[in-house]
Amino acid sequence: MRLEFLPFSKPCIGKEEISEVVNTLTSDWITTGPKVKRFEHEFAEAVDAPAALALSSCSAALHLALASQGIGPGDSVITTPMTFCATVQAIERAGAHPILVDVEPGTLNIDAAKVGDLAEKLTRPGAATRLKAILPVHLYGHPCEMSALVDIAREHQLAIVEDAAHALPAGYHGRPIGSQLACASVPLLTCFSFYATKSLATGEGGMLTGLPEAIDEARIWSLHGLNQDAWNRYSAEGSWYYEVVRPGFKYNMTDLQAAIGLHQLKKQSELHARRAEIARRYGAAFAGYDCFQTPSNFAHVDHAWHIYALRLCLDRLGISRNQFIDELFARKIASSVHFIPVHLHPYYREKYGYQPDDFPIAYREYQRLISLPIYPGMSDQDIDDVIGAVTGTARKYTRQRTTTGFSLPTSAVGKRVPIHAAPNAGRRITSAARRAFDVTCAAAGLILLAPVFAIVTLAIRWADGGPALYVQTRVGRGFRKFRLYKFRSMVANSPASMPLAGPDDPRITCVGKFLRAHKLDELPQLINVLKGDMQLVGVRPQLERYVQVFPEEYRALLEDRPGITDLASLKFRNEEQMFLPGSVDEQYVTQILPEKLQIALNYRRARTFFSDLEILFRTVLGFKSPSTN
């Protein structure tokens, strides 16, 4: 156990930076002056950029990049939800409308294919908005697929503004991020951050790179719209006269910041090598654990390793992501999460009406992300301590194998819904035999329950005169959609955007409450079983919006037909009563559905004919006794 707390990040400031700052303080110039000019020139050389402009922050660079391209009110810019809020704030500050596109599941960078599809729609004649730019974020220091994005921008006459806050020094197909990537036909500007945690840290600060004409335009905007800066006005070679030619901003960098940046820039190769070594050691240590997904690192990129984003496979752990972070904290290791997706923040959620699953990959991956310390000042012992804390927590909370073959957290053993048959007790039935059994039972059930169907139909129609059946599209075997039948329990024409019901939902009719309490509303799904859409025992069919949040889990589960009942249905029999005040949809996706899926995946591995029979038997008893858990 460590004695001292290991911070998440620390700047690597040496004697050279301190000496240069002192030299600046004792000079005649501390604001934007000769050292800023020198820093711009040396930075441009380092990233092979045609020109560079030093600024007060990366946020300022993003804003100026958009403004210099004439992007403003009535325009729209495509970007990613998996980023810090500054990315979207820059778009709004320019007066434009941000349009979010979901991310790739591997790198978590913006999905170029989805960008292309959206750009095609938004640039058609008569489109409601003027799409003007794409703003990709090189998340964690792993470059986006720029070749595809450049092709899209060229086809639709769009500018590209790269958020490279994490991407120094990073490269794409052998060229540094910040260079023009051999795409002179596309306006391309790149924005870097020199915040205290970044690989080049000046406390605050940023840099904008691009073609000279674009940088010259941005330079005017960066200092009140003046046609010359203070150095050009007050130096021995300057003139006092200036004119305001743009409605500009106050975004200039000072010589004090540039003094630090000059020496940080010289150390980039050394600092990056240490970050890469830490990432290599982390990757080697975590590779043997099936509860971890290590970061993507494709061969055609040079990863900057600004952030080491580890993903937890929560189905193999007995704790949540937040609890994992708490465990690391208890072991004196700081960690963080990068990022809370933009569309989950209250401001954007309320302004644009976002729902969590509007961007299902970003939402799903956010819930299992942990950022670990990775900075050059870490000692070998610090690295070992992080690895020990992470792997120790994994070993402590890895789900235990019980005698029934189900994988459960240690804390949950004894609380599961018991299935008494051992994994190999009884012969596993073939698909054909199972199908024959299901069809026979479904046909017999429809015949025997015909009087119940008639009574329920009359009761529903008596209550409000509406149709007895409710038909909804669900996702079935192989992701094929089908029409699922239920007895209607809500008022007719209830909004489809609110599929879940919480306690005392006013949409549920008096007859509907009785049907739901006794699960009689599910009986028409026997028709789905006869049609071949469903089976008797299997994972419950879901709406597409929920399947998109957990595609990998459903890819495994929907190799077979979904079912009327399963082990999770028994455990969550009184699901509606579990919701607290607030967003029912969000609670379902973050708390209930993940556990249901875990139960279904575990049961799928241990399924036998006899365990299916027991679930059916318990389900039927449940109809008679709603209190059964």
Q: Quick one: DSSP state of residue 50?
A: S
Rounded Cα gap, residues 436 and 445, in angstroms:
14
197: left (phi over 0), alpha (psi -120 to 50) or beta: alpha
Least Cα distance to 375 among 267, 263, 253 occurs for 267
Q: Is 390 helix (H, G, I), strand (E, B) or coil?
A: helix
**Contact yes or no for 172/198 (Cβ under 8 A):** no
Is 250 one of the annotated active-site residues of the chain?
Answer: no
C-alpha to C-alpha distances, 208 to 142, 211, 456, nearest whole angstrom: 19, 10, 68
- Greatest CA separation for the chain: 101
Which strand (E) or helix (H) includes residue 209? strand 206-210
Rounded Cα gap, residues 140 and 134, in angstroms:
19
Q: Quick one: DSSP state of residue 426?
A: S
Q: Quick one: DSSP state of residue 590?
A: I
Bridge partners (DSSP) listed for residue 160: 134, 188
Q: SS3 letters for 117-182?
A: HHHHHHCCCCCCCEEEEEECECHHHCCCCHHHHHHHHHHHCCEEEEECCCCCCCEECCEEECECCC
Rounded Cα gap, residues 550 and 356, in angstroms:
13
Unique residue bearing structure tokens 């875990």: 598
Q: Where are the beta strands (DSSP E) in 419-552?
A: 469-475, 481-487, 535-537
What residues contact 12, with CB distance under 8 A and at least 6 apart? 201, 264, 267, 271, 375, 376, 377
**Contact yes or no for 253/54 (Cβ under 8 A):** yes
Annotated catalytic residue: which of 35, 132, 198, 596?
A: 198
Unique residue bearing structure tokens 């080697």: 284
Unique residue bearing structure tokens 């490269």: 171
**Two structure tokens written together for 93:** 């500050």
Where b means 16+ CB within 10 Å and e means fewer, 257-272 reads bbbbbbbbbebbeebb
235: left (phi over 0), alpha (psi -120 to 50) or beta: beta
Which strand (E) or helix (H) includes residue 85? helix 85-93
What residues contact 1, with CB distance under 8 A and at least 6 apart? 331, 332
**Contact yes or no for 172/181 (Cβ under 8 A):** yes
Rounded Cα gap, residues 629 and 619, in angstroms:
10
Rounded Cα gap, residues 219 and 227, in angstroms:
9
Alpha helices per DSSP H over 345-474: 346-352, 360-366, 380-397, 431-448, 450-464
- The residues annotated with a catalytic role in the active site are 198
